[in-house]
Amino acid sequence: MYPDNRREFFTNYQYMLESALPPRTKLQILTPLIDLSRTEIIRLGERYKVPFELTWSCYQGAEKPCGRCYGCANRTAGFIEAGLPDPLILPISSSKA
């Protein structure tokens, strides 16, 4: 797990915010999905009709996900484990001449 995905990171960040904000200014970081697995998050997204075709986890920063990096591999594994199709994985078409 990446350091910025851990509860400790957000606890410390919340402390930093409270220390840096003007008096009587309230700002709270909420992390409702932090204890869920990627598979659980995908299932929850499916239940709430998340437009997964508009999301991706690619680290390459291009206009389309690469399908090969760690982020893409995790996303694919999450969809497989959830038993749901990933709308970004398109079937390979064969062209017949």
Residue 7: what pLDDT?
Answer: 92
Q: Whole-number mean pLDDT of the chain?
A: 87
C-alpha triplet 72, 1, 48: angle, nearest 5°: 60
Q: What is the pTM of this model?
A: 0.75
**Whether residue 44 sits in one domain with residue 23:** no
Residue 43 lies in a domain: yes
Reduced DSSP (H G I as helix, E B as strand, rest coil) percent helix, strand, coil of the chain, to 5: 45, 0, 55
Residue 22 lies in a domain: yes
b/e for 64-83, b at 16 or more Cβ within 10 A? Answer: ebebeeeebeebbebbeebe
Count of Cβ atoms closer than 10 Å to residue 6 Cβ? 13
pLDDT digits (tens, 9 = 90+) for 10-53: 999 999 999 999 989 999 999 999 999 999 999 999 999 999 99
Q: Find the domain containing 74 and state its range.
A: 36-85
Q: Which pLDDT band holds residue 92 (cuts at 50, 70, 90)?
A: very low
Residue 96 lies in a domain: no
Q: Do 78 and 38 meet the contact criterion of CB atoms below 8 Å apart?
A: yes
